[in-house]
Structure 1
Amino acid sequence: MSDLPRNAVARTAKLATLPLGLAGRATMGLGKRLGGAPAAAVLTEVQQRTAEQLFRVLGELKGGAMKFGQALSVFEAALPDELARPYRAALTGLQENAPALPAASVHKSLAAAFGPNWREKFTSFDDRPAAAASIGQVHRAVWHDGRDVAVKIQYPGAGKALLGDLNQLARVARLFSLLVPGIEVKPLIAELRTRIAEELDYAAEAAAQSSYAKGYADDPDITVPDVVEQAGTVLVTEWLPGIPLASVIANGTQAQRDRAGTLLVRFLYSGPERVGMLHADPHPGNFRLLPAEPGAAIAEVDPDEPTAWRFGVLDFGAVNRLPNGMPEAIGAALRGALAGNAEEVAQTLREEGFLKPGTELDPEAVLDYLAPLIEPLRDPQFSFSREWLREQAAHLANGKNPAASLGRRLNLPPSYLLIHRVTMGGLGILCQLGATVPVRGELGAWLPGFAEEGLDRGDEAGEDAVAE
């Protein structure tokens, strides 16, 4: 019997505590308001208690709860600081850690994939997981040819757990509107649910990672580890050392933050052109900073020298296949928005299916709605911050703001779902990093329809903007 289904009742019970806890806190808040406590203070206390319980429960579970927690973690930067501080460490922990499978279950999975003599594949194998996440955990090992490898083993019953958790979370989506008014959680849960089969397919993940590794093999700044072997629910890749991006967010120098932010943007938006795919799971647990000099120890690298660091990428279970590259309409809309051509941008949205037939809109409200995407492009470089993201979120959540009303009337075409997720997730990470990034130059190099005379272009242009 698998480990996850065996605990299904306990998992459901834990998730069920979320709406019950919300009801209790709401009653408590009503009592305090009747007793004369200021409404704002009561709301803050209810939000804090909700957040603490929410991420404590998510952090104790694998499956869909963990996957959802990872997807949500990039939006931590949009929360008010008085809410984010108490549980920021627990939230970012979702990106790297989860309860581990026992060694016996690990060995059983390896035997099912490689046969009873699976140990002959390895010179050594560490039974202790090096990392654990939503649908699998990673063990460090040495392959029989001497290479250090990462062995990713899928949790037995992961698919059933994923679907069960996401169905439960869909029922309590209103919790998240209490934390961040205006946050759209139901579409995120629905999108995660539709991609369960792809997430569980390690053969497809191996193929995607191999394509990325080939496409970036000669890149001096971005590293994708090679696939060593894949069988069943086990995936073996070369080991990627480095500093987890969550650690850079917590303790990195400004140079490391800027370097990570610049290369994150470059990686995400160069993928469709270079390999025909968009990495669709942008959370800090999937990225690393590692020495640019092969074989160099991290301790030997100057943390204040940007070019001393490369960007490493993990986990290719979720990709958006874009064989023709990014849609040119995205770049054209951004270019038009920068130029203030509201009618042109509105027409592009109509043609791409963002508006249902017959829907009327104020073109100027469109530019206001797109402000979080446009503002970082106005100058050669932009400094992201949690404060900036909170201001943008509050602006778009303000019911009196025409842009907020527009957001509720826009339709997100299926072909843009993952592009939207990656864009929003990338913004969240950049703001967590507090990175200064030459976004305009990077998009000018890789986003069809966006480049125009006067924009910074190419890797050299981006690096020059940082140097300035």
Structure 2
Amino acid sequence: MSERPTSSGSAVPSKRLSRLWHLGRATGDLAAGIGVKGLIDLARNRGGAQSSRIQLSPEHTRRFTDRLARMRGAVMKMGQLMSMDGSDIFTPEAAEIMSALRDRAEPMPLSQLAKVLEGEYGAGWDKRFKRFDFTPIASASIGQVHRAETRDGRQLALKIQFPGVRESIDSDIDNLTFLGRTLGMAPTGMDIAPFLDEARRQLHREADYVAEADSLDAYRAMVGEDADFFVPRVHRDFSTINILAMDFAEGAPLDRLAEPTYRRAERDRAATLLMRLSLRELFEFGLVQTDPNFANYLYDAANGRIVLLDFGATQTVASALVDEFRRLAQAAIRDDRPAMRAASVALGYMGEDDPREHVDAMIEMLCLSAEPLREPGHYDFGASDLFERVYRRGREMFHSGVFSTAPAPETMFLHRKFMGSFMLSRRLRARVDLATIVRECLGTST
């Protein structure tokens, strides 16, 4: 009936004190890696214009990430975000090791998995399946995925939540908040509490498999019978509060299209499809899957379809917010700076009474970011250094105090999504006619 596991895994710490102990050990590894001098430098430079770089050895960084990978949950999820956005804080070597958090989490041991399955499906749960593969096909921060075949022949992917993850989110975020403030990872004068509260709400939503099933159904209905995309169906009779049962889908990780065995035309097509879909999510659906993890996309080479996975981070976007993003995009295309300023104030990117130099700096940053929207023809993401230019400029603004006004917290996850789409296009070295796609999605020819 089943395939036995190839690895015993490690138990997920599910009690608050146990998780606090593990985080304490991880923090200890981080502090040991930084050293006394590094901690003094961080404290001295906190809030100033000088950038302090954490010099972590590969050994200490590996210990830190190992701890986060064993904890899973909110701690690992926030570590994944650090690996995406922390290249100004960590050395390149440390950032590379941190990036492993995007692709790994230790699976549960068989004994813990069996306990979860029995708790959700009841005694004799295995009789519901013709086959159950105990070795997970994926393992992430919230849960792990197993392939199974039901007695009536349905091929399923079962997303099984790690025990205690949902209950530990609040304490994990509180502990990470303390760590982040201790290390001075926010600009002086900016209140990061709304962003942490939004992260807390998002993580609670990701751990709510009932909400994810509803989002998956809603998103599937909006995509419809699209020959370019496959959105799995939910199987409610095998889903519980801690298990989400979906269609199993074949495919290779989409970023493998960057390998020489695939043609440029395939890379360009895949990136174009996902760029258009990302914009449709915001401007047409009002429903955005905000997790930019590359592993959430598979490529089915047999029919050229892109498989869309993981809808735990899906959120609706208020129509008023969509309208302001539309105004900002239209103004950026026209290089209409007064209109860009008005939309930016409405979105919270700047205050109505901000100093002129702060306003000008923010407008220049937005114009720089909008470069692919204004260039006619296909934008070559593989040859572009736009990300580095935006990042360097953003870092300068971060340390100069320009970001004294915090935008609407819900925009944080929209930024993640669009940055993820940009980074995927870059990974694929794709050429995308983004200017035309944006105009189509905005419903304008200007």
Calculate the TM-score normalised by the size of structure 1: 0.77
CA distance 1:425–1:400, change in 2 (3 Å): closer
Distance 2:220 2:159 in 1: 17
- Of residues 238, 242, 251, the one that matches 1:242 is 251
- Of residues 104, 110, 134, the one that matches 1:127 is 134
Letter of the 1:369 partner, please give it.
M
Is residue 11 of structure 2 the alignment partner of residue 16 of structure 1? no
| Structure 1 equivalent of residue 381 of structure 2 | 384
CA distance 1:352–1:398, change in 2 (3 Å): closer
Q: Write out aligned runs for 1:115-194 (5 A).
A: 115-173=122-180, 189-194=196-201
Contact 2:137 2:145 in 1 (8 A): yes
| Structure 1 equivalent of residue 218 of structure 2 | 211
Is residue 377 of structure 2 the alignment partner of residue 366 of structure 1? no
CA distance 1:209–1:113, change in 2 (3 Å): same
> Structure 1 stretches of 5 or more lacking a match?
31-39, 294-308, 455-468
Deviation, 1:64, is: 1.3
Deviation, 1:209, is: 0.6
Distance 1:27 1:328 in 2: 45
Is residue 436 of structure 2 the alignment partner of residue 444 of structure 1? no
- Of residues 385, 393, 396, the one that matches 1:395 is 393
Contact 2:439 2:445 in 1 (8 A): no
Deviation, 1:218, is: 1.1
| Partner-residue secondary structure (3-state), 2:331 | helix
Contact 1:163 1:196 in 2 (8 A): no
Distance 1:209 1:389 in 2: 31
| Structure 2 equivalent of residue 284 of structure 1 | 294
Distance 1:60 1:204 in 2: 26
Contact 1:376 1:440 in 2 (8 A): yes
Deviation, 1:413, is: 1.7
| Partner-residue secondary structure (3-state), 2:74 | helix
Describe the superposition over 1:336-375 as per-residue Cα deviations: whole angstroms up to 9, x where unpaired: 1232211121122224444445334455433312134301
Deviation, 1:405, is: 4.4
| Partner-residue secondary structure (3-state), 1:98 | coil
- Of residues 277, 281, 284, the one that matches 1:267 is 277
Distance 2:345 2:148 in 1: 52
Deviation, 1:130, is: 1.3
CA distance 1:231–1:276, change in 2 (3 Å): same
Is residue 336 of structure 2 the alignment partner of residue 341 of structure 1? yes
What RMSD, in angstroms, separates the aligned Cα atoms of the two structures? Answer: 3.8
CA distance 1:126–1:261, change in 2 (3 Å): same
CA distance 1:218–1:323, change in 2 (3 Å): farther
| Count of aligned pairs between the two proteins | 419
Letter of the 2:326 partner, please give it.
G
Contact 1:74 1:283 in 2 (8 A): no
Calculate the TM-score normalised by the size of structure 2: 0.80
- Of residues 420, 424, 431, the one that matches 1:425 is 420
Distance 2:379 2:425 in 1: 10
Letter of the 1:264 partner, please give it.
L
Q: Write out aligned runs for 1:88-99 (5 A).
A: 88=96, 90-99=97-106
Contact 1:272 1:325 in 2 (8 A): no
Deviation, 1:212, is: 1.6
| Structure 2 equivalent of residue 298 of structure 1 | none
Deviation, 1:141, is: 0.9
Letter of the 1:67 partner, please give it.
K
Deviation, 1:433, is: 3.7
Describe the superposition over 1:221-279 as per-residue Cα deviations: whole angstroms up to 9, x where unpaired: 12211111221211110112211245446777463543332222222222245544111
Contact 1:15 1:168 in 2 (8 A): no
Distance 1:109 1:343 in 2: 57
Distance 2:217 2:398 in 1: 49
Contact 1:129 1:138 in 2 (8 A): yes
Instruction: Choose 356-365 or 432-441, whichever is displaced more.
Output: 356-365
Distance 2:271 2:186 in 1: 26
Deviation, 1:291, is: 2.1
| Partner-residue secondary structure (3-state), 1:227 | coil
Contact 2:324 2:346 in 1 (8 A): no
CA distance 1:2–1:18, change in 2 (3 Å): closer
Letter of the 1:11 partner, please give it.
H
Distance 1:225 1:153 in 2: 16
- Of residues 310, 314, 319, the one that matches 1:319 is 314
CA distance 1:374–1:177, change in 2 (3 Å): farther
Deviation, 1:434, is: 3.4
Describe the superposition over 1:7-40 as per-residue Cα deviations: whole angstroms up to 9, x where unpaired: 425412333225522551635998xxxxxxxxx9
Distance 1:249 1:143 in 2: 35
| Structure 1 equivalent of residue 445 of structure 2 | 453
Deviation, 1:327, is: 1.0
| Partner-residue secondary structure (3-state), 1:240 | coil
Letter of the 1:280 partner, please give it.
T
Is residue 78 of structure 2 the alignment partner of residue 68 of structure 1? yes
| Partner-residue secondary structure (3-state), 2:55 | helix
Distance 2:368 2:63 in 1: 30
> Structure 2 stretches of 5 or more lacking a match?
1-10, 42-49
Q: Write out aligned runs for 1:25-40 (5 A).
A: 26=37
Contact 1:140 1:149 in 2 (8 A): yes
| Partner-residue secondary structure (3-state), 2:156 | strand
Percent identity reads 23
